[in-house]
Each structure stands twice: as structure tokens, then as C-alpha cells.
A and B are shown apart, each in its own frame.
Chain A
């Protein structure tokens, strides 16, 4: 299995809703990521988990709450979002080569619309 699977593919939510995005990989990668991508912009890093521990939080608002239940799963819990949070949310996982270089594999993304 060489894929990163994200669900749902599309999500529409109101500003008072609570929802979650899910990500799964079975490649044995020990680093997992959440990126946010707006139209015609590059992906922006939100969170990184390394060996199931949060290692990077790029000053993301607390209305986004990540969770890594085990080495294969990564969730992003959403609560009280704003319309400007509408974007494509990309999950990725990676392994580090012996050279030290880090290769990310991305999922297909979850398209989020906040009304």
C-alpha cells in the first residue's frame, strides 16, 4: 500500500458545527502532516506529528485540533470555523532516507467549505 487516504473528500459545515477530517497510511511512515491549501497558493504547513507526538504547530488557531491516535492515523478536529478556513486540507506522511532527505506522500485532500 503506497497511498495516503483522506476522508471525507468534500465537507460542508456551518460555523457552529463540529466535524473531523481523517487520514490513514499503511506505509510505516512515522511522520504525518496536515497542510492547508487555498486556491492558487502553495500548501501551508499546519501540524507535524513525529512518532505520534506533535512536533510542529505552526501557530494554528485552536479551532483546529489535531490528533494522532496511532502511527497509521491522523485526525483534524474542526470546531467553530470561519468562512476563511474554507480550503483544501492535505494530509501527508513521510519517511527519512539514509541521506537524511525527507520525502512526503500526499493524500488526495479534503475540500472544506465553511458557510
Chain B
């Protein structure tokens, strides 16, 4: 069974700090890893990382895939209160059913002013 573990489960920082969120996975025939941000309602897509695209960046957010360590990090620099959310990591493998994403439990990030 595919498994995704995120750490830390929660994190409290001050505005302007830099944070690193971790995601490790065990999956049959890794296909992709996705990061989502969830505030009050629906998760919104941040990044997708695959074997052919192991680093992504968008503004203050960046993510790297380490295929050897079977893990990924999500970095947020110069954090703002609007970054407060749950960050979900999800992995898709092709060993089981197609279309099934396995989610981690998420990291709850709180950014205080």
C-alpha cells in the first residue's frame, strides 16, 4: 500500500521567517508528487514534481524532489500571514489503480504577525 508521511504536523512561525516542509513516500512505480495548499475549503494546486521535473519555483515558494531519498521539500521564504494553511503532499504511483492519489496528513502552518 502506498504511504505518504509529512513532517512536521504543525508549525508556528513569525512573518518573515523561512519554513521547510517535508514529505516522504513509499509508492509502487512513482509517477508524480503534488503539493496542495488548503485554507478553509478546497485544496489548491501548488506544484507537481515528476522524475523529469524535480524542482519547481513560484514566487516565494519552491519545491524539490529527491528521488534517491524518496522525499520532497516545500520551502516558503519571507512568510506572510496569508501563507497560514494546511499544506498537503500527495503521491501517485502506477502500481495500483490509475488515478489514485495518496495524501499525507498535512502540515498545519501558522504564520503570526
What's the least CB distance linking B52 to chain A, in Å? 6
User: Are A50 and B48 neighbours in the complex by a CB distance under 8 Å?
Assistant: no
CB-nearest residue of chain A relative to B33? A101
Tell whether A31 is near chain B: CB-to-CB under 8 Å. Answer: yes
Q: Which residues from B are CB-within-8-Å of A50? A: 98-99
Q: List chain A positions with a Cβ less than 8 A from chain B.
A: 4, 31, 33, 40-45, 48, 50, 55-56, 88, 90, 94, 99-109
Cβ contact within 8 Å between A45 and B100: yes
Least CB distance from B3 to A in Å reads 12
Please give the number of chain B residues whose Cβ is less than 8 angstroms from any Cβ of chain A in the complex.
26
Complex alpha-carbon distance, A33 and B99, angstroms: 9
> Are B50 and A99 in contact, CB atoms less than 8 angstroms apart?
yes
Contact status A43-B99, CB under 8 Å: no
Task: Provide 19 A-B residue pairs closer than 8 Å at the C-beta atoms, listed in order of the A residue.
Answer: A31-B99, A42-B88, A42-B103, A43-B88, A48-B100, A88-B41, A99-B32, A99-B53, A100-B50, A100-B94, A101-B32, A101-B92, A102-B31, A102-B32, A104-B101, A105-B45, A106-B36, A107-B42, A108-B42
Residues on B with beta carbons closer than 8 Å to the beta carbon of A107: 42
- Docked CA distance A45–B90 (Å): 12
Across-interface contacts of A40 in B (CB, < 8 A): 108
**B 75-94 to A, binary, CB cutoff 8 A, 1 in contact else 0:** 00000000000001000101
**CA A55 to CA B97, docked complex, whole Å:** 8
Q: Which residues of A are found within 8 Å of B106, using beta-carbon distances?
A: 42
Check A42/B99 contact, CB under 8 A, given A99-B52, A102-B92, A108-B42. Answer: no
Q: A42-B106, A90-B43 are in contact. List 10 more A-B contacts (CB 8 A).
A: A43-B43, A43-B88, A44-B103, A90-B42, A100-B32, A102-B31, A103-B45, A104-B101, A106-B36, A108-B41
Asked if B34 is at the interface (CB within 8 A of a chain A CB), the reply is yes
